[in-house]
Each structure stands twice: as C-alpha cells, then as structure tokens.
C-alpha cells in the first residue's frame, strides 16, 4: 500500500467543529487576555485588585462538573459592530457592541481513572499547519487549557511549537492526540505514539485516542494500556466508536476507555450513546458541535430565540447546552474573537424549557457520514500517513 499524506479535509471526513472561519488573521482589534489561576476551591488569584466571582462560581458548580485546579479568567473587549454578519463566510452575528469584564471559570469532568479533564477545549481539525501555531497561541492566550489534535491532522508539530512559546506551564495543559488506522496494531501503535510525542515536544500525553474503530483495534489497545501503565498517557480512549464496538472493547480488555469522542450536536444528540457510556464509565466528548453550520444552525429560530433571551450568540447557546449535558466539547476557530466568544459560556445557564427545546431538534442521524458504511470504512482504512 502506498504511503500518502492525508489530504484535508476529504480523506478524513471528520468535519470541523464549527463553521468556515476564513483567514487566520487577528483583525483590527487586539483582544486583552489576562490569565488567572485558582489555587484552591473557587478562590481566584488575579493580577491587580481581586474579588471572588460568586456568579461564575455558582454557574460552574451548578453544572455538576468541578472547577479545575487551573481555572482561567480573562477580561475581554467584545468586538463591534452589533448585529452584523461576520465576514469570511461565517454566518454568526457578532456580539453586541460593549466592553465588559468577564470571569471565565472553565470547569472539569473527572474521568474514570480520576484524571481531571476540562469540559471545554480547543480543537485544531482542518487548521492548516502554517496557521496552527498562531491559532493555538491565540487560544491559550484566550484561556483555553485543553488542546485536541491528531496524527491525521498533520499539525502536531505546530501545536507543540505553540505550547512551547506560550509560557503556559505544562501541568496546566490537557493535550489530546489520536492514533490513525494505518498505525493500528500493538507494535505500530507504540511507534506512532512515540512519533506524536516527538512532534508535540512533550514527555507525556494527557489523553491518547484510537481515532477510528477500524484496523487492529485490539492490538492498538494493548499497546495503549501499556502506555497508560507506564505513565506516558494519563488517560486512553477512543473516537467514533458506536455503542456496540465500545462495549465489545470494554468487555474484552483490562482498561475501560476514559473518553469516546463522537459527532454530537443539536441535530445528532447521541443521548442513547451517552447513557451507555455513563453505565460503562466512559466520558462522552463532542466533535462537530456546530454541525459545520448545517441545517442553518447559526440562524435556526429555536437556537436564535434562546440566544436572544440570554444576550448570547447561537454558538454560545450550543456550547452551553452541551456543557449542561456534561459533554466535553472542543470548538475550533482561527479567529481570536471567536475563541474568546466560545469560552464565554460559564456565566449563564439554560432553563429546563430551553434544554428541552434544543432536545426537540434531534434527528437521530449523522449529518456527515455513517461509520458503519462499508464504502466509508474502506475509504478511511486505505488512508495512510506520511512519517
């Protein structure tokens, strides 16, 4: 089999977790971002005069998820103009023109081995390598501490450069990457892990996932169990596994996957999958939370009405809906103002009626492709990566 680079996005058709973001430019306005670290409980140590943000604390603890030991806050200037459509192909309206200080409390979920994982992170799928370093640097400056990449994305090295130049301590970060199908198997998975670790410039990963449920999954999992036992991967998990494949893997191995990253958004909500994961101790994680804008997500009247009620954007409502469902989510953008908007979701809460209204949008089907489609299985299984 010939070895080729994975073209983006066609050969690995996992979609972006957002909408087309256009050029990786900062725009005319620089966003102010100051990092704060919570040292214990909900007390926040901040530069300059400090105060305890009880509203943010209440919103965080009400989610049923815990504040991370590295909570992040930031003062931001919300960008003008009001009510305009974003340029560069993005249909999301900009936030209203105003300047205010927001304290962001990024909460965590506890994985089945006790590891704390931020419930909201930053994904880099479909970000070209030449734009990834800038994008990740901007995300870290905005307050993100969880980063999600993959060998198949071709941008692990750029993620690593951004981490090194950010000044953020390694222990504050939660870094995920993924094993591609062509590297499946006990020996190849170990070599692929070492390659990813070298490209990222790290001495361990926080989470290592099997990217697709194909190839020698069981050989890969045995290698990953050893990586976990050796402390090189703090947690291991899977991606794109339907419930039957997930249960089979659990029943025939020692370590239960900590995470299953699957397509999850308002039109494909995966409630049955999430119920099985809860029974088995697996954390659900969403890719594609905005469905790439399909089904007119950013102008949907139900989502738009909820957004107007809270003075938030549709994207913020979708992220908040996922967080209240205890779904880990990794929105992607190459624009700093979008990154700041996407992390600004911990100061409000959807009502039960609003949660039910979003739940009613579920179609129960993928908007992208079926991981059980034989043609797709063959297509993905024949994509190999350059070394």
Q: How far lies 24's CA from each of 107, 132, 337, in Å?
A: 28, 9, 11
Angle at 45 between CA 43 and CA 33, to 5 degrees: 120
Query: Among 36, 125, 144, 153, which one carries the catalytic annotation?
Result: 153
Burial class (CB in 10 A: 0-12, 13-18, 19+), 10: exposed
Q: Is 153 a catalytic residue?
A: yes
121: which 2 tokens? 């992170």
Q: Using CA atoms in the order 352, 354, 355, 357, what is the torsion angle rounded to 10 degrees?
A: 120
The residue to which tokens 């953008």 are assigned: 333
The answer to whether the peptide bond before residue 9 is cis (omega within 30 degrees of 0) is yes
For residue 355, give the H/E element and its range.
helix 352-359
Could you tell me which of 15, 3, 1 has the C-alpha nearest to residue 268? 15
User: What's the rounded Cα separation, in Å, for the pair 34 and 307?
Assistant: 27
Count of H-run helices and E-run strands, the chain: 12, 15
Catalytically active residues are 153
């Amino acid at each position: 089999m010939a070895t080729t680079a994975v073209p983006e996005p066609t050969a690995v058709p996992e979609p972006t977790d957002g909408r087309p973001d256009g050029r990786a430019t900062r725009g005319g306005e620089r966003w102010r971002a100051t990092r704060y670290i919570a040292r214990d409980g909900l007390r926040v140590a901040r530069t300059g005069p400090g105060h305890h943000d009880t509203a943010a604390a209440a919103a965080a603890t009400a989610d049923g998820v815990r504040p991370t030991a590295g909570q992040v806050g930031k003062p931001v200037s919300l960008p003008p103009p009001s009510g305009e459509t974003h340029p560069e192909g993005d249909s999301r309206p900009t936030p209203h023109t105003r300047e205010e200080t927001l304290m962001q409390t990024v909460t965590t979920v506890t994985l089945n081995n006790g590891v704390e994982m931020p419930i909201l992170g930053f994904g880099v799928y479909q970000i070209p390598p030449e734009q990834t370093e800038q994008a990740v640097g901007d995300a870290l400056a905005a307050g993100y501490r969880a980063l999600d990449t993959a060998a198949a994305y071709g941008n692990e090295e750029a993620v690593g450069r951004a981490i090194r130049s950010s000044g953020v301590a390694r222990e504050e970060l939660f870094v995920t990457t993924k094993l591609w199908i062509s590297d499946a198997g006990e020996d190849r998975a170990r070599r692929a892990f070492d390659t990813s670790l070298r490209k990222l410039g790290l001495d361990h990963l926080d989470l290592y996932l099997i990217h697709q449920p194909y190839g020698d999954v069981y050989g890969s999992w045995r290698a990953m169990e050893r990586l976990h036992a050796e402390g090189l991967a703090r947690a291991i998990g899977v991606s794109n596994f339907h419930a039957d494949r997930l249960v089979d893997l659990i029943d025939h191995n020692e370590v239960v996957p900590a995470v299953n990253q699957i397509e999850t958004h308002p039109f494909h909500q995966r409630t049955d999958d999430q119920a099985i994961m809860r029974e088995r101790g697996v954390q659900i994680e969403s890719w594609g939370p905005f469905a790439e804008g399909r089904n007119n997500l950013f102008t949907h009247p139900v989502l738009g009405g909820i957004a107007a009620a809270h003075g938030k954007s549709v994207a913020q409502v979708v992220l908040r809906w996922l967080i209240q469902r205890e779904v880990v989510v990794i929105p992607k953008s190459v624009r700093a103002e979008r990154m700041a908007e996407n992390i600004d979701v911990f100061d409000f809460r959807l009502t039960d009626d609003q949660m039910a209204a979003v739940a009613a949008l579920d179609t129960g089907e993928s908007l992208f492709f079926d991981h059980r489609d034989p043609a797709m299985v063959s297509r993905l299984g024949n994509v190999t990566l350059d070394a």
